[in-house]
Structure 1
């Protein structure tokens, strides 16, 4: 996939695409038919995975309007294809006992899991890189800035350590996510499955369905949307961390500062001398767009009603698809940015000399209060703070054995 309005979209490949979602919906229907057959409820199982093609996406998308979701035309097509193949038994039992939301939510969890897995992989690479930066530049002096002004001396190693904490925060939040199956039937009572199978076999089907998909078992969450909002919050945390790094690269890469720069700058359409910080700009764009998308998902969660919601559920699909796809793009762009990042320690040192009076004013006043001459350096516990960040990142920084 690619998008003219979201440069870099191709970096996400098929993740969270319509094709991936259709494949996940079909996979969920396939595993449910398999479970029904295994428990002696349905008389015949036939794999559904090769019954569709990319050409079906446009047909299903168009027909989805009549019922309000793409599962309804998907089921119709699957049944028709099974009948055309002479498998009437399998056709009759496809989707029985479930509702559209069961398949749609389950498919979104399957595709979201893939997107999160990719994002976590990128974060691991980034944590290793930034740990190295923090250690390598622990003694590279520069001016710390607060409210855009020079404040006190610091080192680039400590700045990188601050980035590192944000990346580890994101890695921890993403690692804690669960991806629950959705299985509740028409109104979250599982009455359809019990009617088909009886209580004992219905319990067996319910237990085996998430296992067959590699998802977590869960109570029906048709109008309890924590799984979605936690996911949105977690990926927004990652975008926040990348945005913070991109902002530093943009600010410190200004022509009049020149302390950081991208390895390969982007081109300008009119000024051949420019090497624009394109990756940083695009990462910042993603960081600015993520919170509103997450807010939409929280609004949808707050607007749930009855046992199945009218519109609040429907608004989640493309919002989540967009948020996760953009997250993967930003993750891969951030890896590229950090891999090629250039640090100009000479420019940092020169700027620190220029603002020497400003950055040591606090030191002089505190030394006077304490009744002694200012120390030779004013870097506090920078080494300790860097070591703490690197130690915290260690589980993510170690190469797999």
Structure 2
């Protein structure tokens, strides 16, 4: 995919693309059809490979036809039935509803997104670990509310970045392991599946079988309980929050009057040859600024659900989740690039620290209270805190809790 309105969108590849969504919907239909045959509900002659029925241009055709019923599943099922022989056509999609297919397909697409983000996190944790270790003792000025505050180290700053990345990264693995299938039928009661299977137990076995085939978590129907979607949105927003913090620190640190940080390869200007713009950071901040509002749309939709299938709120989720997911993947790639190539200027950091005034006034007030001689450096427990964060990063890399 390409998007002139979102430079770098191509870094997300086919993730959450129309083609990926179409393939995921067909995978759901395939798993259900196979489950019906395996359970002896549909005749063995109904078994068929649905993927070979697709042709170039099908996504566009389905998209154009989707407006008739408000979702792409009806058009997809009609197309597959028209291209299938009997008895496949008769048994295809029986017992499912459009929401089952859309929701489960979104989970499949989301899993691919989370895998990619997890790969990027691994790169970022390694890069930040190296930065924190290398600059553990690199003296630098700590600032609060944009003003000079206290002596610190660049290692402490990088450890804080690492903490934010770990806070966002650690839940991703758990989320990947618990993405749910959705099988509930028309109103989320498994009525059609129960009728087909002849028992409630048989219907639940069909639902669990579909989840197992697609490597998703077996879950009771969640038609109008949309926490499964909002928690994905929250995780993606948290990722962008962590990366946005890093990018904002970099854009500040690379200002010429500060000059402590620089991107490994900045961007140019159409009219100013001397510019070396922190483009990676700018594009990461763009994602961080838009992620929260996109996540809030998912929550707004969740709060507007009604009855056993919502009239518009459910439909709002699809493109919102796709946009948030792709933006997050792009920001992940940019952050990995930024951190892997980040340039640090220790002499400039030391000069900025030396130029600041009254940095030890707090320390003097502490020694007056205690009557003890001042400790050197006045960086407190920074070194211990760095060690703690690096230990956490090591456990993350090894996959330990």
- Give CA-to-partner distance per residue, 1:11-30, whole Å, 9 cap, x none: 00000111100000001001
- Which structure 1 segments of 5+ residues have no match? none
- Give CA-to-partner distance per residue, 1:4-63, whole Å, 9 cap, x none: 010000000000111100000001001100000100111111010121133011110010
* 8 A contact 1:143–1:359 mirrored in 2: no
Cα drift, residue 373 of structure 1: 4.0
- What is the TM-score when the length of structure 1 is the normalising length? 0.97
Residue 380 of structure 2 corresponds to which residue in structure 1?
Answer: 380
Q: Structure 2: how far apart are the matches of 1:310 and 1:53?
A: 32
Cα drift, residue 366 of structure 1: 1.7
Q: Structure 2: how far apart are the matches of 1:239 and 1:179?
A: 20
Question: Secondary structure of 1:72's match?
Answer: helix
1:150 aligns with 2:148: yes
* 8 A contact 2:170–2:396 mirrored in 1: no
* 8 A contact 1:19–1:54 mirrored in 2: no
What aligned pairs does 1:92-171 form with structure 2 within 5 A after superposition?
92-171=90-169
Q: Structure 2: how far apart are the matches of 1:54 and 1:342?
A: 46
Residue 349 of structure 1 corresponds to which residue in structure 2?
Answer: 350
1:216 aligns with 2:217: yes
Question: Secondary structure of 2:308's match?
Answer: coil
What aligned pairs does 1:171-210 form with structure 2 within 5 A after superposition?
171-177=169-175, 178-199=178-199, 200-210=201-211
Question: Do the aligned partners of residues 361 and 53 (structure 1) sit closer, same or farther apart at CA in structure 2, a change above 3 Å counting?
Answer: farther
Task: Name which of 50, 58, 73 aligns with 1:71.
Answer: 73
- Give CA-to-partner distance per residue, 1:184-230, whole Å, 9 cap, x none: 00001111112222114323212211001100000100100111011
Detail structure 1 runs of 4+ shifted over 6 Å in the superposition.
none
Q: Structure 2: how far apart are the matches of 1:201 and 1:101?
A: 21
Q: Structure 1 stretch 187-196 or stretch 197-206: which is displaced more?
A: 197-206
- What is the TM-score when the length of structure 2 is the normalising length? 0.97
Cα drift, residue 236 of structure 1: 0.7
1:40 aligns with 2:40: yes
Question: Secondary structure of 1:154's match?
Answer: strand
* 8 A contact 1:3–1:9 mirrored in 2: yes
- Give CA-to-partner distance per residue, 1:110-167, whole Å, 9 cap, x none: 0001001110110111011101111110000000000000100000000011011111
Q: Structure 2: how far apart are the matches of 1:277 and 1:72?
A: 47
Cα drift, residue 176 of structure 1: 2.0
Q: Structure 1: how far apart are the matches of 2:394 and 2:168?
A: 15
- Which structure 2 segments of 5+ residues have no match? none
* 8 A contact 2:100–2:182 mirrored in 1: yes
Cα drift, residue 363 of structure 1: 1.3
Q: Structure 1 stretch 125-134 or stretch 315-324: which is displaced more?
A: 125-134
Cα drift, residue 394 of structure 1: 1.0
Cα drift, residue 2 of structure 1: 1.0
Question: Secondary structure of 1:4's match?
Answer: coil
Question: Secondary structure of 2:218's match?
Answer: coil
Q: Structure 2: how far apart are the matches of 1:159 and 1:103?
A: 46
Residue 393 of structure 1 corresponds to which residue in structure 2?
Answer: 393
Residue 283 of structure 2 corresponds to which residue in structure 1?
Answer: 282
How many residues are aligned here? 395
Question: Do the aligned partners of residues 235 and 399 (structure 1) sit closer, same or farther apart at CA in structure 2, a change above 3 Å counting?
Answer: closer
Q: Structure 2: how far apart are the matches of 1:201 and 1:109?
A: 24
* 8 A contact 2:224–2:309 mirrored in 1: yes
What aligned pairs does 1:204-283 form with structure 2 within 5 A after superposition?
204-283=205-284
Residue 55 of structure 2 corresponds to which residue in structure 1?
Answer: 53
Q: Structure 1: how far apart are the matches of 2:141 and 2:283?
A: 26
Q: Structure 2: how far apart are the matches of 1:271 and 1:165?
A: 37
